[in-house]
Amino acid sequence: MNRQTLEKFYRLKLKKPLKSSAKRSLVVEYFMNRDRHFSVEELYNEIRKMNFKISYSTVYRTLNLLTKLGLARECIFKDGMLRFEPVHGPKHHDHLVCERCGKIIEFEEPKIEKLQEEVARRHKFLVDWHRMELYGLCAECRKKEKL
């Protein structure tokens, strides 16, 4: 997420006009500095730890805004908890999720995406978006497993 996100954020038009606000900017800034999946609680705690006063309501509201604006993406893995990740560009990626340590690895595999399109065509289905997650053990956890 680049430096101009905050300005970009306020330039973007929604149904309703946005007033600039310190609290919201705070959330956007901390969001900007994340580069991986995080839970709302994590972000909330991080901001709190810095002695900024903020409410969960505002954190949720701002993250939902960022999502509508296309700057954030919701990720809901097996545990069912809402997470967000910054959207860095038009490139799509999918996830490997370690069921032991929770680590999340991102990957891209164009060959799979091609085949997905083929499956869709076969069913005369028009794909808007997809999600694919592979759950299992990461390299580190496999090593520990063997000891």
Partner DNA sequence: TAAAAAATGAAAATGATTTTCAAAATCAAA
Partner DNA sequence: TTTGATTTTGAAAATCATTTTCATTTTTTA
CA 30 to chain centre: 13
Q: For the sheet with 72-76, list strands across it.
A: 38-39, 82-86, 72-76
Please report how close the Cβ of residue 38 comes to Mn ion at its closest, in angstroms: 11
Site string for Zn ion, 101-120 (x = CB under 5 A): x-x-----------------
Name which position in 28, 47, 97, 138 contacts Zn ion (CB under 5 A). 138
Contact present, 14 and 69 (Cβ < 8 Å): yes
Please report how close the Cβ of residue 96 comes to DNA at its closest, in angstroms: 21
Query: What letter would DSSP give residue 17?
Result: P
Q: Are strands 94-98 and 104-107 parallel, antiparallel or unpaired?
A: antiparallel
Residues that bind Zn ion (CB under 5 A): 98, 100-101, 103, 138, 141
Binding site residue list: 92, 94, 98, 101, 113, 130, 138, 141
